[in-house]
Chain A
Amino acid sequence: MGCIENLKYEMILPLGASFKECREYAEKNFKEVWYVNPGYKLFDEYIIGLPPIALGIEDGKKIIFPYTKPCHGTYLLRIEDADEVERVRKTARKKK
């Protein structure tokens, strides 16, 4: 089981979505959006997906990101972690 599955997460799109839908949802619904490439480490796991991968930041302390499992699809998750938010702000990019 991945590290992310052991964290307290909330599913924003509980029925799953395509990768493109997750990116569009993050871009449309969150004022602060950062972009990363596949292989970026988030919560100690390497994120996979079609680049650019959009990460939303909410209230300065929550990260919204796509999480993919082969048999289950891609889910948009929300996890509260102010330290990880700061790390994203320092290491991710603003432009696609």
Chain B
Amino acid sequence: MTPLPETPAKALIVLGCPEAPAQQALAFHTAYNLKKRGSEVLIAGNPSVLNLLKVSDPEKHYITDTMVLEKCIAEVVEKKRDCDLCVVFAHNDAAIAYAATMRHLLPERRLVVIIFGKNPEPLADEINFPCEKIVDKAVHNPMQLRTKINEVFGWAVSRT
């Protein structure tokens, strides 16, 4: 039986443009599952996407630590921030560029790139660096991509 991956002590979730609604749902789902299992979770993104998260979770049940993406990258470059797991949500070329940057800056860390949106396959083909890819044509409906994410991380499917 394939052993389940260890729970990362520190996880960094990088979010792209909030244009595709599935991202926010799956960001919450990913953060929730990592936190439940004991990970410290930081979510980085642009101010718009962070504000969407904060408005959605005013009591910070799921999202406790956030950081503007540029600041996060600066801290990683300056070796002030590290993580065991980096998850990048990508539905456009810009986000692939951020994923590539994280790969370069965190060469030894586990990197999972979740590629979604209307046309994820060409974006996935742009990735020429080592990482785990989860690819799904999800824009509004997060369910199938949630299943794939659960499989990659070894999380049991919730019945709620």
Show the binding face of A for B, using Cβ within 8 Å.
2, 18-20, 37-39, 45-46, 48-51, 68-74
Contacts and interface: CB of A to CB of B under 8 A. Distances in A.
B117 interface: no
Q: Please classify how large the interface on chain B is, using the bins under 10, 10 to 19, 20 to 34, 35 or more.
A: 20 to 34
Contacts of B48: 71
Interface of B, helix, strand, loop or mixed by DSSP: helix
Interface stretch (B3-11, B33-41, B70-78, B142-150): B70-78
A39 B46 contact: no
Contact of A74 (B16, B18, B77, B94): B94
Interface of A, helix, strand, loop or mixed by DSSP: loop
B95 interface: yes
Interface in B104-130: 104-105, 126, 128-129
Given A46-B73, A48-B73, A71-B46, A39 B105 contact: yes
A70 B73 CA distance: 13
Contact of B93 (A37, A39, A73): A73
